[in-house]
Amino acid sequence: MTLIVSFISENLIKNINVVFAFLILIIIIFIGILFDIIGVAVTAADEPPFHAMSANKQKGSKEAVILIRNADIVSNFCNDVIGDIAGTLSGAAGATLVYRILRFYDIKNNDYIFTILMTSIIATIMVGGKAIGKTFAISKSKQIVLKVGILIYFLKEKLGLNLLQNNGKARK
């Protein structure tokens, strides 16, 4: 999966305008932060409020229960799989952007400074964004999990995509 996504994003960044390449880099970073927030929120959320919502036929509440019951899998996927892919891609995209900028402006001296600067900026945004996101995810876990549940509900109902499998296990 990483290989395919990396190949696509690298080719995209190499072949488009630098401004759009920066936008793609920002989107990759944002996806990493967003999935980190989802993973933490699912881990922090309590199941009982969603049972009450489910009894009231709240859309997405059943999906939220499944997410919470599978918090270990959801968290691993969101935080580790997607997070690691986003981190790797953002680093590769940043390196490609630096290379393109250095080549465009024909910069040959002290080129390592630009690489260090880009790497530092990407790392700061990723780490800072994830730190802020974790605090947000813990304090707003119920709302976040419900929003994700609603999204999954609509993907299932409107597009026929069933992203969840209810294995029936209760959370301890």
pLDDT of residue 118 exceeding 60:
yes
Structural domain count of the chain: 1
User: Quick count: other Cβ atoms within 10 Å of Cβ 161?
Assistant: 11
Domain assignment present for residue 128? The answer is yes
| Cβ atoms of 16 and 93 closer than 8 Å | no
Range of the domain at 120: 2-159
Residue 167 in domain: no
Is the separation of the CB atoms in 75 and 39 below 8 Å?
Answer: yes
* Residue tagged 């294995």 (tokens): 167
**Token representation of residue 9:** 């994003």
pLDDT digits (tens, 9 = 90+) for 127-158: 999 999 999 999 999 999 999 999 999 999 99
Give 96-116 pLDDT, tens digit per residue. Answer: 899 888 988 888 888 889 999
Q: Is the pLDDT of residue 170 over 60?
A: no
Find the length of the chain: 172
Say if 172 falls within a structural domain. Answer: no
Whether residue 169 lies inside any domain: the answer is: no
Question: Pick the residue with more confidence: 20 or 63?
Answer: 63
In a domain, 171, yes or no: no
Please report whether residue 165 resides in a domain: no
